[in-house]
Chains A and B, each alone.
Chain A
C-alpha cells in the first residue's frame, strides 16, 4: 500500500491525470479509437462472412485483426503523445518550475510514463468487448487475450520511454513526432517487410527469426512466435527474452532521458564520455551473449526441429536475423545525427556536444569515424565468437560473415548524405525531411524490384535497401543469387559493393566540402590525446 500511495503521490502523475481527465480531447480520442477498431472489425467480419469459414478460423481472424489494428493505432498515438511529454512543458514554460523543485529526473520520467501507462490501460480496456468476440465465437482463449494486453502494455512502456527520450533531446514538437513516427516505421514496417521476404525464400512458415523479431515487432511475434528456444540448452519460453530485451531498452532510454533532463539548459549530451565505455561494454556483452547463447548452430537446429534446415540455411538465417536486429536499431539512430549542430565552421566542439565522445571537426568525415565506431562495437561480438568458438565458423559460414560486414559498410553513404543535408540545407527540418524521403525512395525501389523478382536472395534485398546503387550493376545482382553466394567468387563481389559504398560516401563528402564557403575550409587531423 505504501508503494502504491507513493506512486500516486508523484506530482507529475497527479498533474497529468488531472489535466487529461479535464481535457475533452481524451473523450474524443477514446471515441475515435473505438470507432476505428469497430470499423476494422466490421470490414473483417464482412470479409469472413463471404468466405464462410468455421468458427475457430472466424474467432482467430476477428481477434488478430483487432489486435493488429490496436497495435498500429496505439503505436501512432503513443508516438504523438509521448514525444510531446517534455516539449509541451517547455512550450508552456513550466519546465523551469519542475526542474527547480527537488523532484528527481527519474521521478519526472516515471510520472510521464505512468500517466501514459494508465491511458493505455484505458484504451486497451475500452476495446476489450470487441476482443472478447474472438473467445465467444471460438478459437481464442482468455489467456491469449490477457497475454496480448500484457505484452501491449510492456511494449507501450518501451515506446513511451523512447518517446520521452526524444522529447527530452529534440526541442521542436513536429520534429519529435517525426522522429518517433520514423522510429515506429523502422521497427514495424521494415521488420515486417524483412520477415515476409525471409518467409518467402525459406519456403516455410516458422523461422528462428521470429524469436529475434518479437521484441522489435511485438505483434508479429505474438501472432507467430509462441515457440520455445534454447539458451545454454535450457528451454526458455519465448516471452522471457522478449521482456528482458524490452526491459533493457526501457532502462537504457530512460537513463538517457534522465541524463538529458538533468542537464537540460546545457548543450545536448546523449552519452557523456565517462559513462560511454560502460554503456558500450554492456551492449557488447548483450550482443555477445545473444549471439552465442541464442543462436549457435545447435540452438537454431533445435529451435527449428520441426523443419529440416541445412546448416548453411540456419546460419544464414541467424546472421541475417542478427544483422536485422542490430541494424534496425542503428538505422533508427541515424536520424539522430541532425541533433548535432549544423556545420557553420570547422572549429572543434566541446566534448559533450557530440553524440559520441569523439572530438572531431564538424564535417562529413567525423560521422564516418563515428559510424566505424558503431560498426566495430557491433562486430566485436561475432569476432570474439570466432576466436572462442572457431568450430561454429567454418567453410561457407565465413561468407555470411562477409555479408554482414558488407551490409553495414553500405550504411556509410547514408550517414555522409545525412551530414551533407544538414550542412547545406537552410533548416534542419528540411534536411531531415529530405533524408527520410531518400530513405523511402530507396526502400520503395527495392520493394518494387523485389516484387518483380528482380532480386534473388534475402541478402540482395537487404543490400538493395541500403544502397540503391547496388542495382546499377547486373553483374552484381546475378552474383548474389542464392546459388551465386556459394559458387561465385564472393570476395570479388564484396569488393565491388564496398567500392560503390566508398565512392558514394566520398562523393557526398566532396560535395559537402565544395558547398562550404572557402574561408571555412580547413583540414583538421584527429588529435589522439582527445581519446
Chain B
C-alpha cells in the first residue's frame, strides 16, 4: 500500500531522514515509533505530500508520489497533523463542510457524509456547537472526523492521542480499531508505546533519521533474542542463601525483585528455560509460578534505540 525507498530529507545541515526504507501493507495499522526529533513528522509530511524537496522514492497505492499526481494522491489520504488547528468560530458541521468542499465532495452528498462522520466519532450531539466550545478529546475526534470526510484509503495520524486524558485515549484507540475493521490502512506515529502495543500489526522504530527496526512485535522478540525473561512467583519470601542459589544456576544471568516476586534474565534458547525450571523444582524451591515472558514495547524500544539525538 505504501512503500518508502531510501527516503532522505535535509533541513540545511540537519539530516532529518537518512535514507529510510519502510513498507506498509493494505488494511494494517502500522505504528511509527521514535523519540522526539527522530523524523516521524517529517516522514508523515512527505507522505501527506506537504513536503516536496526530498530524495528517494515514495509509492502510495501503486502511484509514485511526484509533483504531478500529488493532488490526486491527497484524495486517497487523510492526514491528521500533530498540532491541533481548528477554526474556533464556526459550527462543528461547518468545519466538516469546509473539508468536504476542500476535498471536492459533491454538494448533494455532504450532509449525509457529515452526519455519518459525526456518528462514527460520537459527536452527533455536538453538530451545532461551536468548534471552540469542544473539549480537547472531542476536538481530537473532530479532527479524525475531518480526515474521514472524503473516505480516504489511507490514514496518516501524527500523535493522535497526545494531550488526551486516559478515557479519551481509550476511546480514540477503539475508534482506530473500528476504522481498521472498515478497511483503512493506518499509519500512526506516537511515543506512547503502551497504547501502540495492542493496536498495531507492525511497527517501525526510527531514531535520528534512521530506521532501526521494522516488523511485528514477534519479529522484534526474535531479533532481540539475546536472552529470556522469566517471571517467578514463590509462596513465601526467599532467604539470602536461596537467592544466591538461584543466581548460581547455570544459564541465569541476573535476577531482580524482592519478597515473593522475581524476574530472572537467562541465556537465550528454550533449553535454558527448561534447565532452570527443572533445577528449581528438583531443588525444592517454594515455587508457585514460572512464566517466561516476551519483551514489552517499552523494553524493545529501550533495547533497540540508543538515545541518539540530532
Contact = CB atoms under 8 A, between A and B. Distances in A.
A352 to B, nearest CB: 9
A283 interface: no
Which of B45, B48, B89, B107: most chain A Cβ within 10 A?
Answer: B89
A19 B90 contact: yes
Interface string B141-154: 00000100000000
A98 interface: yes
A97 B48 contact: no
Given A93-B85, A94-B85, A102 B71 contact: yes
Nearest to B49: A100
A226 interface: no
Interface in B35-85: 45, 48-53, 71-72, 74-75, 77, 79, 81, 83-85
A265 interface: yes
Contact of A14 (B50, B72, B84, B98): B98
Given A19-B89, A102-B75, A97 B146 contact: yes
B50 A265 contact: yes
A92 interface: yes
B235 interface: no
Interface string B85-123: 111111000100111011110010000000000000000
Contacts of B90: 15, 18-19, 22
B87 A19 contact: yes
B87 A15 contact: yes
Interface string A67-110: 00000000000000000000000001111111111111000000
A526 interface: no
A92 B104 contact: no
Interface in A40-86: none
Interface in B269-309: none
Contacts of A10: 101
B71 A104 contact: yes
A96 B85 CA distance: 8
Contacts of A94: 85-87
Contacts of A444: none
Contacts of B75: 102
Given A22-B89, A94-B87, A266-B52, A102 B101 contact: no
Contacts of A263: 52
A237 interface: no
A141 interface: no
Which of A9, A19, A96: most chain B Cβ within 10 A?
Answer: A96
A96 B81 CA distance: 7
A102 B104 contact: yes
Contacts of B107: 9
Interface residues of A, number: 25
Nearest to A95: B85
A23 interface: yes
Interface in A1-38: 9-11, 14-15, 18-19, 22-23
A95 B79 CA distance: 13
Interface size class of B (residues with CB under 8 A): 20 to 34
Given A15-B90, A99-B50, A102-B74, A93 B103 contact: no
Nearest to A20: B89
Contacts of A97: 79, 81, 85, 99, 146
A15 B146 CA distance: 15
Contact of A15 (B50, B81, B98, B104): B98
Interface in A188-222: none
Contacts of A93: 81, 83-85
A102 B83 contact: no
Nearest to A9: B101
A74 to B, nearest CB: 24
B171 to A, nearest CB: 22
A462 B170 CA distance: 70
Contacts of B77: 100
A100 B74 contact: yes
A14 B97 contact: yes
Which of A98, A101, A103: most chain B Cβ within 10 A?
Answer: A101
A101 B102 contact: yes
A6 to B, nearest CB: 11
Nearest to B156: A100
B103 A102 contact: yes
B87 A98 contact: no
Interface in A327-380: none
A446 to B, nearest CB: 43
Nearest to A101: B102
A81 to B, nearest CB: 15
Interface in A97-126: 97-104
A18 B87 CA distance: 10
Interface string A241-268: 0000000000000000000000101100
Contacts of B86: 92, 94
Which of B79, B89, B101: most chain A Cβ within 10 A?
Answer: B101
Given A9-B101, A97-B81, A265 B51 contact: yes
A393 B170 CA distance: 82
B94 A18 contact: yes
A14 B81 contact: no
A100 B48 contact: yes
Nearest to B104: A102
Contacts of A23: 89
Nearest to B146: A97
Contacts of A100: 48-50, 74, 77, 79, 81
A97 B45 CA distance: 11
A228 B103 CA distance: 49
Nearest to A10: B101
B84 to A, nearest CB: 7
B83 A11 contact: no
Interface string A426-457: 00000000000000000000000000000000
Nearest to A263: B52
A101 B81 contact: no
Given A97-B146, A266-B52, A14 B101 contact: yes
A103 B103 CA distance: 7
A23 B146 CA distance: 23
A249 B197 CA distance: 57
B87 A11 contact: no
Given A94-B87, A95-B85, A266-B53, A11 B101 contact: yes
A19 B49 CA distance: 28
B71 A96 contact: no
Contacts of A15: 87, 90, 94, 98
Which of B81, B85, B104: most chain A Cβ within 10 A?
Answer: B85
Contacts of A11: 98-99, 101-102
B54 to A, nearest CB: 10
Given A92-B86, A100-B74, A103-B102, 6 more contacts: A11-B101, A94-B85, A96-B85, A100-B49, A102-B71, A102-B104
Interface of B: 45, 48-53, 71-72, 74-75, 77, 79, 81, 83-90, 94, 97-99, 101-104, 107, 146
25 contacts: A9-B107, A10-B101, A11-B99, A15-B90, A15-B98, A18-B90, A18-B94, A22-B90, A23-B89, A92-B88, A94-B85, A94-B86, A95-B85, A97-B79, A97-B85, A97-B99, A100-B48, A100-B77, A101-B74, A101-B99, A102-B71, A102-B102, A102-B103, A266-B52, A266-B53
Which 6 interchain pairs have the tightest Cβ spacing? A93-B85, A11-B101, A94-B85, A101-B102, A93-B83, A11-B102
